[in-house]
Structure formats: C-alpha cells, structure tokens
Amino acid sequence: MEKSLERHDAGDAKVIPIILRDCDWQIAKFAKLQALPKDGIPVTDWPNPDKAFADIARGIRRVVEKIPPNP
C-alpha cells in the first residue's frame, strides 16, 4: 500500500479505495483519496449491492478516461 500511495502521489498510478464492508477507513493512509462507491458508503450498506458495484464501475471509468494516452 505504501508504494501504491507513493506512486499515486507522484502521478505514476491511480489508487481508488473500494469500500466493501463497514470499517474505520477514514483514519487509513488512503483516507485522503476519493473512495468508491459514492460517498464511501460500503457496498454492504447499499439496499441493492448491484447498484453499488455499478457506481464503482462508473467511478473507475471516470478516472481511467482522464488518464492521458501514452505517446
């Protein structure tokens, strides 16, 4: 995780926390990052987990679409 966060901070990688279950992630080293699904609400807390996973997929797509292509 340390190396991944270093690469994220350097702009060499993208780190996207995915919150599956309720946990105290707000104090983790990656808490500064935008977590998915929306608002960091755990997948298990969504009334319909499929909608949570769809939200995660859309969020990942938004991040990937912003990555410039390699020359």
Q: What is the pLDDT of residue 25?
A: 87
Tokens for 50, please give them. 């499929």
Domain coordinates of the chain in residue numbers? 2-65
Three-class DSSP labels, 8-49: HHHCCCCCCCECCCCCCHHHCCCCCCCCECHHHCCHHHCCCH
Per residue in 16-49, pLDDT (tens digit) is 999 999 999 888 888 999 999 999 999 999 999 9
Q: What is the pLDDT of residue 66?
A: 92
Mean pLDDT across the stretch 46-61?
Answer: 98
State percent of the chain over pLDDT 90: 80
DSSP single-letter state for residue 1: -
pTM over 0.75? The answer is yes
Mean pLDDT of the chain: 93
